[in-house]
Amino acid sequence: MRFSKWHGLGNDYLLAKRAELDVPLTPERVQKICDYHFGVGSDGIVEVVSANDAEAEVVIWNPDGSTAELSGNGTRIAARWLARGSGEDEVVIRVGPREVRARMRGGLEVEMDMGEVEVGETETIDVGGEAVELVPVSVGNPHAVIRRDGFDRDELLRLGPLVERHERFPARTNVQLLRVDGEHDITVGVWERGAGETLSSGTSSVAAAAASVAYGWCESPVTVRLAGGDLRVDLEGRNARLTGPAQQICWVELADEFEL
């Protein structure tokens, strides 16, 4: 079984066309393949269900075998892959009911229309006896944005899994710790639902930026500084555009004796 391996600011995905897979992907197989110790190792898999010229339908698999309603980095990778194969500078990627239009920019940059973002009212939940204030945001998938004057990795690793699985979020949620650095700049730590800590996340960046603009912490455009690098989010009303790089790393292939 052969995949191309890509990354968006260190958030890496395997990509393969469904028609070219030796066996169907299942949650159990995805877990094995994404395991960094016993498989190929990846933050997820982009499965291309169909591709026709400048349009494609994909399924985004998380490394725990669940699927995501949307992934900014995974979708951006799929867009770059499709543009390269079709020769088109503008492509459309469908993830479930969501349709993302993407344009290739200079170098490795891809600009995507992410659609409408819903920013909710501030809530406070109890996390292990600690009152945590958050802003729920939907970018097609769920997010919990937690503003901090400052945070470190230990706090992300502590709060991330607890908030992800909190009873407030029965389908679990992505978690962002956010620090406002300036009128157009924020720093974000990402805990992804089904993946854990990641170097970057497109939808998390959109969620954090949208919350920042909605609550007057920042103004658009917003530069989101992540562990893996920077992404740009432009907000016009409730609609968001996300710009960042996508790059193929290599080709990888599972050995014939690898048990799936």
Q: What stretch(es) of the chain map to CATH 3.10.310.10? A: 2-110+245-253, 118-237
pLDDT 10s digit of each residue in the chain, 260 long?
A: 999 999 999 999 999 999 999 999 999 999 999 999 989 999 999 999 999 999 999 999 999 999 999 999 999 999 999 999 999 999 999 999 999 999 999 899 999 999 999 999 999 999 989 999 999 999 999 999 999 999 999 999 999 999 999 999 999 999 999 999 999 999 999 999 999 999 999 999 999 999 999 999 999 999 999 999 999 999 999 999 999 999 999 999 998 888 88
The burial class, CB within 10 Å (0-12 / 13-18 / 19+), for 113 is middle
Q: How many CB atoms lie within 10 A of CB 248?
A: 15
pTM for this structure?
Answer: 0.95
Q: Model confidence over 75-106: pLDDT tens digits?
A: 999 999 999 999 999 999 999 999 999 999 98
Distances (CA, A) of 29 to 21, 38, 247: 12, 12, 25
Residue 32's pLDDT is what?
96
User: Largest alpha-carbon pair distance within the chain?
Assistant: 56
Fold held by 2-110+245-253: Diaminopimelate Epimerase; Chain A, domain 1 (3.10.310)
CB 219 within 8 A of CB 29: no
Pick the CATH number of 118-237 from 3.10.310.10, 3.40.50.2000, 3.40.50.300, 1.10.150.130: 3.10.310.10
Enter the tokens of residue 233.
């989010």
